[in-house]
């Protein structure tokens, strides 16, 4: 049996806008994924189609090999945390936990209450009375307590302060180490997740522009620094995804593997971090 | 707690920080080191990265696995790390020192003098 969420040639249109343009991608293998994209790139649409909150116009979604559409068994394997608050707003925090357990039998009530305690979330409060930050915290606690095989977190740290974000990443790693499940972190905050994730899916303008390991992505991009003339000569015949100039100096970002030796004098080759590479890749497509 | 810098792969920094702990006596020989999960969670890094750093130390014979218990420091690990770091010393420090010295126009005698001064502790 396949253990994965597969999207095959998925197309989603909203009126004249194509939000997902022939997307084929697989999440599985018990890894932590980063689903990275700028605002409006299609991250939420993609996750909503996986969880049948939206339906694709074309293509299909398979969960462990079975079509996901109108398939309760498949849906119970996936928990999605997103911007929408799906609990009745008069419900109290503690009841949200008990309610979710009805749909997710692996849900751990003890764990949920202990996390609420660590985050100082009052379980007697009504959902509608929570601040933006605490609403996010509640949703994250529910997601992490669900113990679903696939946990999809859409912009999970929205509204969380630095201390709570730090706590959140620690909990994600601990949960992953304990359950060995598949976790998808969908975010535009690349720097924060760059060491947490193992695989990367970059979506831009509704298209998947990279799908592979983080290590592989980093090995494919580098920068070259030197005088404008030398850098321009070096860049000829290579894939330049961006550049910056200061005075007579130029830095070009190159897509490809750098040569081990034979670097011309006066040029300096450096590795590029995930965020910088992401910015260059997603800028390159727009221009 | 490990403070990462941006210039080298994280898994290397994980293994170096454990080596530092062994050298300074935080992890005595035959004592247990933190688990992959503990390292990953406390450093906010992917467990696979932490495992890669630990595996490197296993390959080098600095730590070993006790089945069902965890990872332990090999007896003689301290000496092994010292030997390895001595071998790396020339490439890592001397070459860079000479490089910078040449850029600044220091003579060999001046550098020798500075090193002697450093040893005598007159900063």
A204-219 per-position pLDDT tens digit: 999 999 999 999 999 8
In 3D, which of A192, A164, A139, A176 has the Cα closest to residue A32? A176
Selected residues 135-174 of chain A with any CB under 8 Å from a CB in chain B: 166, 169-170, 173-174
pLDDT tens profile B25-70: 999 999 999 999 999 999 999 999 999 999 999 999 999 999 989 9
pLDDT band at B114 (very low <50, low <70, confident <90, very high): very high
DSSP H/E element including A234: helix A228-235
Give the residue on A whose Cα is nearest the Cα of B37. Answer: A177
Query: Side by side, which strands form the sheet with A17-28?
Result: A17-28, A4-14, A58-63, A66-67
Residue B54 touches chain A, beta carbons under 8 Å: no
Residue B2 touches chain A, beta carbons under 8 Å: no
Which fold does the domain A220-286 belong to in CATH? Alpha-Beta Plaits (3.30.70)
Give the best residue of B5, B11, B44 to mutate against chain A (max A CB count within 10 A): B44
Question: Can you give the pLDDT at residue A45?
Answer: 97
CA distance B43 to chain A (A): 8
pLDDT at B1 over 60: no
pLDDT tens profile B69-102: 999 999 999 999 999 999 999 988 999 999 999 9
Residue B71 and residue B63 in contact, taking contact as beta carbons nearer than 8 Å: yes
Residue A249 and residue A165 in contact, taking contact as beta carbons nearer than 8 Å: no
**Mean pLDDT, to the nearest integer, of A60-68?**
94
Q: Which CATH architecture has domain A4-215?
A: 3-Layer(aba) Sandwich (3.40)
pLDDT at B7 over 70: no
pLDDT band at B9 (very low <50, low <70, confident <90, very high): confident
pLDDT band at A53 (very low <50, low <70, confident <90, very high): very high
Q: Where in chain A is the domain with CATH 3.40.50.300?
A: 4-215
Give the residue on A whose Cα is nearest the Cα of B36. Answer: A177
pLDDT tens profile A71-124: 999 999 999 999 888 888 899 999 999 999 999 999 999 999 999 999 999 999
- The residue among B4 and A271 whose pLDDT is bigger is A271
Question: Can you give the pLDDT at residue B121?
Answer: 79
Distance CA A263, CA A269 (A): 8
Question: Can you give the pLDDT at residue B79?
Answer: 95
Give the residue on B whose Cα is nearest the Cα of A168. Answer: B44
pLDDT tens profile A144-195: 999 999 999 999 999 999 999 999 999 999 999 999 999 999 999 999 999 9
Distance CA B14, CA A180 (A): 22
pLDDT band at A263 (very low <50, low <70, confident <90, very high): confident
Question: Can you give the pLDDT at residue A89?
Answer: 81
Q: What angle do CA A109, A113, A116 make, to 5 degrees?
A: 140
Residue A191 touches chain B, beta carbons under 8 Å: no
- CB burial class (10 A; 0-12, 13-18, 19+) of residue A21? middle
pTM of the model: 0.88
Share of chain A above pLDDT 70, in %: 98
DSSP letter, residue B74: P
- The residue among B50 and B7 whose pLDDT is bigger is B50
Question: Can you give the pLDDT at residue A160?
Answer: 94
Q: Where in chain A is the domain with CATH 3.30.70?
A: 220-286
SS3 A225: strand
């Amino acid at each position: 049996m396949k253990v994965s969420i597969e999207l095959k040639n998925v197309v989603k249109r909203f009126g004249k806008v194509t939000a997902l343009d022939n997307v084929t991608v697989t999440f599985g293998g018990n890894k932590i994924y980063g689903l990275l994209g700028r605002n409006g790139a299609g991250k939420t649409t993609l996750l909503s189609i996986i969880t049948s909150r939206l339906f694709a116009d074309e293509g299909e979604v398979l969960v462990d090999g079975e079509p996901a559409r109108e398939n309760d068994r498949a849906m119970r394997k996936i928990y999605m945390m997103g911007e929408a608050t799906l609990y009745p707003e008069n419900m109290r925090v503690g009841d949200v936990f008990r309610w979710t357990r009805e749909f997710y039998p692996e849900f751990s009530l003890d764990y949920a209450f202990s996390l609420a305690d660590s985050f100082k979330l009052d379980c007697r409060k009504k959902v509608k009375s929570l601040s933006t930050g605490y609403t996010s915290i509640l949703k994250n606690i529910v997601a992490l307590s669900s113990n679903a095989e696939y946990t999809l977190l859409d912009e999970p740290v929205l509204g969380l302060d630095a201390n709570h974000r730090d706590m959140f990443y620690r909990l994600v790693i601990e949960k992953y180490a304990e359950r060995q499940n598949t976790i998808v972190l969908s975010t535009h905050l690349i720097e924060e997740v760059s060491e947490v994730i193992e695989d990367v899916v970059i979506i831009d303008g509704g298209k998947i522009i990279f799908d592979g390991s983080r290590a592989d992505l980093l090995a494919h991009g580098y920068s070259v620094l030197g005088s404008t003339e030398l850098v321009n000569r070096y860049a000829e015949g290579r894939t330049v995804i961006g550049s910056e100039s200061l005075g007579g100096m130029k830095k070009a970002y190159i897509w490809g593997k750098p040569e081990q030796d034979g670097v011309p004098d006066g040029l300096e080759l450096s590795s590029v971090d995930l965020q910088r590479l992401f910015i260059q890749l997603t800028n390159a497509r727009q221009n | 707690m490990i403070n990462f810098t941006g210039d080298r792969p994280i898994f290397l920094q994980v293994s170096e920080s454990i080596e530092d702990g062994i050298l300074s006596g935080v992890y005595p020989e035959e004592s247990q080191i933190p688990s992959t999960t503990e390292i990953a969670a406390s450093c906010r890094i992917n467990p696979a990265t932490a495992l890669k750093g630990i595996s490197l130390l296993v390959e080098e014979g600095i730590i070993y696995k006790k089945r069902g218990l965890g990872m332990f420091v090999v007896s003689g690990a301290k000496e092994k790390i010292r030997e390895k770091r001595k071998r790396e010393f020339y490439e890592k420090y001397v070459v860079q020192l000479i490089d910078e010295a040449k850029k600044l126009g220091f003579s060999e005698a001046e550098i020798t003098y500075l090193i002697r001064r450093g040893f005598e502790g007159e900063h």
